[in-house]
Amino acid sequence: MEYRSGSMNRVFLVRFDQGDDFLAGLLEVVKKEEIKNGWFHCIGGLAEADVVIGPNEPTMPPAPIWQQVDSPRELLGTGSIYPDEHGEPKIHLHTSLGEHGKAMTVCTRKNTKTYLIIEAYIIEITGIKASRPWYEAGGFNRLTFDAS
């Protein structure tokens, strides 16, 4: 385990409307506002998305199991924002998606079409030098604390 202490800086409130690509829009705000490190929370509806529902086996690196969500779901999610080894922002989002009283928790990856509305707030974190470079042994981008 490693940790660092930082501070909250700017806070952004963002609304996504019917048909908006949530992750693409979030990334657009992150780039435009030059958010390097942050966390976000979101609530609303998701019409479709490509998600990972877990690893095939508990191995490193994991073999992800992909599933396509293709019907409207209630959404509650939280995620983080850190740059990769090239300085490009990487978004890591986990959501619980509900449909007719049944829920699934997933890693939401791409093609995220909003159903009705998604409300999100982004909290920018300052005072911490962190990134999410590719972690070869794990097969994923891992949060890494950079030298101060």
> Could you tell me the fold of the domain covering 9-131?
60s Ribosomal Protein L30; Chain: A; (3.30.1330)
pTM of full prediction above 0.75: yes
Could you give the C-alpha distances from 63 to 5, 56, 57, 59, 60, in angstroms and in order?
33, 5, 7, 8, 8
Q: So where are the chain's domains? A: 9-131
Tokens 């191995």, residue?
A: 59
| Residue 147, φ and ψ in degrees, nearest 5 | -60, 140
Q: Distance (Å, rounded) from C-alpha 76 to C-alpha 83?
A: 24
Could you give the C-alpha distances from 72 to 44, 77, 101, 117, in angstroms and in order?
10, 15, 13, 11
Q: Which of 32, 122, 130 is nearest to 85 (CA)?
A: 130
pLDDT in tens, 92-110: 999 999 999 999 999 999 9
DSSP state string for 62-77: --EEEEEE-S-EEEEE
pLDDT in tens, 27-66: 999 999 999 999 999 999 999 999 999 998 999 999 999 9
pLDDT in tens, 74-96: 999 999 999 999 999 999 999 99
